[in-house]
Amino acid sequence: MEPLKGGRLSAPVPAPIQALLDEAGDTRGATEWALRFIWDDPRVSVVLSGMSTMEQVAENVDIASRAEAESLGPGGATLIDRLREAFQARTPVDCTGCRYCMPCPEGINIPMVLGFVNDAALFDALEAEQGGYDIMAMMGQTARASACVECGQCEDACPQHLEIIKEMAGASRLFDHKAPAAE
């Protein structure tokens, strides 16, 4: 489930990651590499991938029709390892989005906020993620990270043992100082 990390592995990938794909000399894109990685495991028989366009459905069906267990080979496995390392190096918070930290008593959608932090770093898109963060806060989808009162409830529940209080302070420094004035 979520083999494309909510679409992040199929979106236009950052230049350093695209460079790894180009260097491999393989015409498969990031979406196919991500899906083929899952299907390469012989224990996997079903992959649940969300799709929002008919083009994505057709692409996933095409990839699935060619996927086989244990078909990546050593070169493919090496490339997957290099891609994973490149993505992880650009992702500051190792949040899986499991939502065990929710609900936050202060109304912060912690996985959403951490997603904005990660995407800002991963895609060199601080301005775009700032805009998304501001919109979600204005629409009431999340309280701002600065609303964190450091109760620790989220950290107690986090299976990744993230220092969420510290991450909320960082998110606040990153995004809240640029928040539009209240009307």
**Cα–Cα dist 40/46, whole Å:** 12
Residue 6 inside a domain? The answer is: no
Residue 138 inside a domain? The answer is: yes
Nearest CA among 100, 131, 118 for reference residue 11: 118
Quick check: 179 pLDDT over 50? no
Quick check: 6 pLDDT over 80? no
- The confidence score (pLDDT) of residue 14 equals 85
| 159 and 116 inside one domain | yes
Average pLDDT, the chain: 89
**Residue-wise pLDDT tens digits, 81-114:** 998 899 889 999 999 899 999 999 999 999 999 9
Question: Chain-centre distance of CA 130, in angstroms?
Answer: 16
- The confidence score (pLDDT) of residue 1 equals 57
Residue 47 inside a domain? The answer is: yes
Q: Is 85 exposed, middle or buried (0-12, 13-18, 19+ CB in 10 A)?
A: exposed
Instruction: Please check whether residue 103 is in contact with residue 69, taking contact to mean a CB–CB distance below 8 angstroms.
Output: no
| 24 and 57 inside one domain | yes
| 24 and 81 inside one domain | yes
- The confidence score (pLDDT) of residue 137 equals 95
Banded model confidence at residue 183, pLDDT cuts 50, 70, 90: very low
- The confidence score (pLDDT) of residue 159 equals 94
| 84 and 136 inside one domain | no
**Cα–Cα dist 116/128, whole Å:** 9
| 114 and 85 inside one domain | no
Banded model confidence at residue 77, pLDDT cuts 50, 70, 90: confident
| 130 and 81 inside one domain | no
Listed in sequence order, the DSSP H helices in the chain are 15-24, 30-39, 54-66, 73-89, 110-122, 126-138, 153-157, 164-175
Among 8-22, 29-43, 53-67, 131-145, the range scoring the smallest mean pLDDT is 8-22
| 70 and 129 inside one domain | no
Of 60, 89, 118, the one marking the end of a domain is 89
Residue bearing the bigger pLDDT, 102 or 183: 102
Quick check: 161 pLDDT over 90? yes
Nearest CA among 85, 38, 89 for reference residue 63: 38
Residue bearing the bigger pLDDT, 167 or 123: 167
| 74 and 118 inside one domain | no
Q: What range defines the domain where residue 22 resides?
A: 15-89
Banded model confidence at residue 48, pLDDT cuts 50, 70, 90: confident
pTM equals 0.72
Among 21-35, 114-128, 147-161, the range scoring the smallest mean pLDDT is 21-35
Structurally, the chain folds into a number of domains equal to 2
| 78 and 24 inside one domain | yes
| 149 and 119 inside one domain | yes
111: preceding bond cis by omega (within 30 degrees): no
Across 42-47, average pLDDT? 88
